[in-house]
Amino acid sequence: MYTGFHTAASGLTAQSRILDTMGNNIANADSAGYKKDYLVTTTFGEHLEMQNGVNVGNVNFGTRADATYTSFEQGAEISTGRPLDFFIKGEGFFNIIMPDGTVRLTRNGQFSLNQDGLLTDSRGNTVAGQNGPILIGSSDFTVDEAGRIYRDGQYLDVLAVTAPADYNNLDKIDEGYFVNTGAAGENIDFSVIQGSVEASNIDMVQEMADMIASSRNFQSCSRIIKVFDEIMDMAANQVGRL
């Protein structure tokens, strides 16, 4: 009885985590460059069940959330015609310099110019070029497919586009940023397209269908817990009187 109760409770907890992950995906479906997260579950492990010295089969104590993974599948290209928007076709991430000097990675190419003429992301952090922060001065500039920046025909810098050697070493943090905890990759296959941004890789139809299925699983686990609670209450308050 108690085994079944804990098994259902573990399923309830796991489905709650899955719903939270899906909810975050849906909330960021319109965020440029956002990458979908998905939660992988596993069991607590099986053990041999014995009754009166007889093997009655293997049982486990339910499921648990194992780890959250990110899908790096490329999102669709959205043409904006805005010269400060950039789309990376293929591998790689834009490099963003944080206030403390550390570098974070992002696929969100919605950039702006600050009051000093520096290229910045949507949160005001400077975009890195080969020579550090990119000073453009005005929005009258062009960028070729290799990321080289020109103004009035004069070369200024090149957008820093990097990728990890192993995507498993990318840690997803807040606000669409990633941190590479491993080595950088070599010979990255990419091209930069000015005037476009990358949509999120969220399939809203599939995400909503998966959320409905997970909600039903959550409700089923909740009902099972309620049934076990009623059975235990009956055993304690009614059968015990006999």
Domain layout of the chain by residue ranges: 2-72+202-241, 77-198
pTM of the predicted model as reported, rounded to 2 decimal places: 0.79
State both tokens at 210: 């998966």
Does position 239 have pLDDT exceeding 70, yes or no? Answer: no
pLDDT band for position 100 (50/70/90)?
A: very high
pLDDT band for position 10 (50/70/90)?
A: confident
Cα→Cα distances 98→105, 119, 187, Å: 10, 13, 26
State both tokens at 75: 């999102």
How many Å apart are CA 170 and CA 48, to the nearest integer? Answer: 39
Q: Sign of the CA dihedral 96, 129, 194, 135? A: positive
pLDDT band for position 222 (50/70/90)?
A: confident
- Average pLDDT of span 14-34: 91
Residue 216 is predicted with a pLDDT of 86
Residue 187 is predicted with a pLDDT of 87
147-165 confidence digits (pLDDT tens):
999 998 899 999 999 999 9
29-77 confidence digits (pLDDT tens):
999 999 999 888 766 555 445 455 555 455 555 576 668 889 999 999 9
How many Å apart are CA 220 and CA 67, to the nearest integer? Answer: 23
pLDDT band for position 208 (50/70/90)?
A: very high
102-136 confidence digits (pLDDT tens):
999 999 999 999 999 999 998 999 999 999 999 99
